[in-house]
Every structure is written in C-alpha cells, then in structure tokens.
C-alpha cells in the first residue's frame, strides 16, 4: 500500500515549498536585524538557495511541461522559466560569495523579492490554470515528491544553522 500524501495536489505541494522558503527568508531578515554572525547568515542563505534549486528543478522537469501541454499556455510557462533563470543567476552569485561578504544581505534580499513576485504570479495564474485543466495534479504529486527526494539526496545534506 502506498503511503498517504500530505498534500491535496501538485500545486499544494509546490506552494508548501513556497511557504517554507518564505519562512527562511523571514528568518534571514531577523538574523540581519539581530546582527547575527556572517557564518550563521551564510548557512541560512545556502539552505534557501538549495531549497529553491530543488523546487525550480522539479517544476521545470515535471510540473511546467505537463501544465504547458494541458493548457497550451506557452507565454505563461515561458515567463515562469525566465523568472527561474533570473533567480538562478542570483543564487549563483550568493553561492559564490564568502560568508563575510557585505553584499550577501543585499543579494538575499534581491532573491526574496524575485521569489515573492514569482510565487504571486504562480499562485494566481499557473496554479489556477493547472487546476482548471484536464491534468491529474493529485497523481503528479507523487512524481514531484520522488524527484524532490532524489534531488535532495543528490545535493547532499542541506546545511543547518547548528553547523555554523
């Protein structure tokens, strides 16, 4: 028997990722306000980046192609892919920075703004269109979860704040 899935459908799973990343961005902001050590902020920035890379990859490999096929909406999916590319460019900059780099806070803030805008558009347009299309979003959830787990294993351990 298959294990129960804690998500209503694929969009619900992806939105849970959005919420988890938003929480990490809020934690990062709090660390900045509290004057936390650069090493602690660096670890959290790396966690944010890895979570976003995994999320983007499962969307690009599984979710977006199926939504594109079911809805025929090329423009919306192309725009989402472009937003992913912009976020990945900022992620690459963050990952290349040293822990004490003064530009880290600004880059994380920029990434937060990019992701916030992307999530808003995804919720209001892509998820809505996907739910209205002839698409098995419930069945897709297992595919997304499996690939998400594979990618997390591939990327290795996501840094924890205790490691800082």
Q: What is the pLDDT of residue 1?
A: 36
pLDDT of residue 3: 60
Query: What tens digit of pLDDT does each residue of 64-99 get?
Result: 999 999 999 999 999 999 999 999 999 999 999 875
- Domains of the chain by residue range: 10-153
* pLDDT value, residue 163: 42
The whole-angstrom separation of Cα 76 and Cα 56 is: 15
**CA 42, CA 138: separation in Å to the nearest integer?**
36
* pLDDT in the model for residue 4: 62
Distance CA 138, CA 145 (A): 11
**Low-confidence residues in the chain, pLDDT < 50:** 1, 161-164
Q: What is the pTM of this model?
A: 0.90
- Rounded distance, CA 51 to CA 46, Å? 9
């Amino acid at each position: 028997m298959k294990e129960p899935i804690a998500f209503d459908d694929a969009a619900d799973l992806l939105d849970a990722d959005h919420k988890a990343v938003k929480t990490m961005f809020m934690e990062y902001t709090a660390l900045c306000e509290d004057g936390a050590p650069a090493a602690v902020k660096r670890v959290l920035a790396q966690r944010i980046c890895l979570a976003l890379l995994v999320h983007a990859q499962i969307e690009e490999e599984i979710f977006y192609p199926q939504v594109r096929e079911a809805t025929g909406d090329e423009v919306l999916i192309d725009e989402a892919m472009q937003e992913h590319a912009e976020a990945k460019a900022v992620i690459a900059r963050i990952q290349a920075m040293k822990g004490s780099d003064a530009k880290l806070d600004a880059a994380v803030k920029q990434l937060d703004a990019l992701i916030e805008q992307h999530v808003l558009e995804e919720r209001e347009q892509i998820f809505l269109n996907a739910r209205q299309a002839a698409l098995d979003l419930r069945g897709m959830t297992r595919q997304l979860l499996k690939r998400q787990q594979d990618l997390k294993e591939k990327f290795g351990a996501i840094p924890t704040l205790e490691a800082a």
